[in-house]
């Protein structure tokens, strides 16, 4: 996948709760998340993506997702320019 490709990543988020919880209320259901952004890179352990790219190449709002949490990666295609 090329850098700056627009992608949609579906992944199982890590869940943590710092409050007091009855053990019977803890479920094993995954907490599904969907992230959209620009592909930056992929290592053997993580996928890196960014929500915002500047014209000078800088990135902002980046996310690192462990590969073991990812259930699907879709390439996104733009269908033309936005109209006001």
- What is the structure's pLDDT at 84? 62
- What is the structure's pLDDT at 51? 92
Q: In this structure, is residue 37 part of a structural domain?
A: yes
Residue 35 burial (CB count, 10 A): 16
Q: In this structure, is residue 20 part of a structural domain?
A: no
| The total number of structural domains that make up the chain | 1
CA distances from 83 to 46, 52, 53, 55 (A): 36, 20, 21, 21
pTM comes to: 0.82
Q: In this structure, is residue 19 part of a structural domain?
A: no
Q: 7 and 39 in contact (C-beta within 8 Å)? A: yes
Radius of gyration of the chain (CA): 16
Q: Which tens digit of pLDDT belongs to each residue from 3-30?
A: 989 999 999 998 888 899 999 988 888 8
Q: In this structure, is residue 25 part of a structural domain?
A: no
Q: In this structure, is residue 56 part of a structural domain?
A: yes
Give all strands of the β-sheet with 59-66 in edge-to-edge order.
Answer: 59-66, 46-53, 31-42, 6-13, 70-75
| 78 pLDDT higher than 80 | no
The CB-side HSE value for 14 (13 A sphere, CA atoms) comes to 6
CATH number at residue 71: 2.30.30.520
Q: Which tens digit of pLDDT belongs to each residue from 43-71?
A: 999 999 999 988 898 888 999 999 999 99
């Amino acid at each position: 996948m090329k850098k700056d490709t627009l992608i949609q990543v579906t992944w199982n988020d890590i869940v943590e709760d710092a409050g007091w919880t009855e053990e019977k209320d803890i479920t094993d259901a995954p907490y599904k998340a969907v992230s959209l952004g620009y592909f930056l890179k992929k290592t053997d352990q993580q996928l890196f993506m960014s929500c915002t790219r500047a014209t000078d190449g800088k990135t902002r709002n980046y996310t690192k997702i462990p590969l073991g949490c990812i259930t699907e990666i879709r390439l996104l295609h733009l269908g033309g320019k936005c109209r006001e």
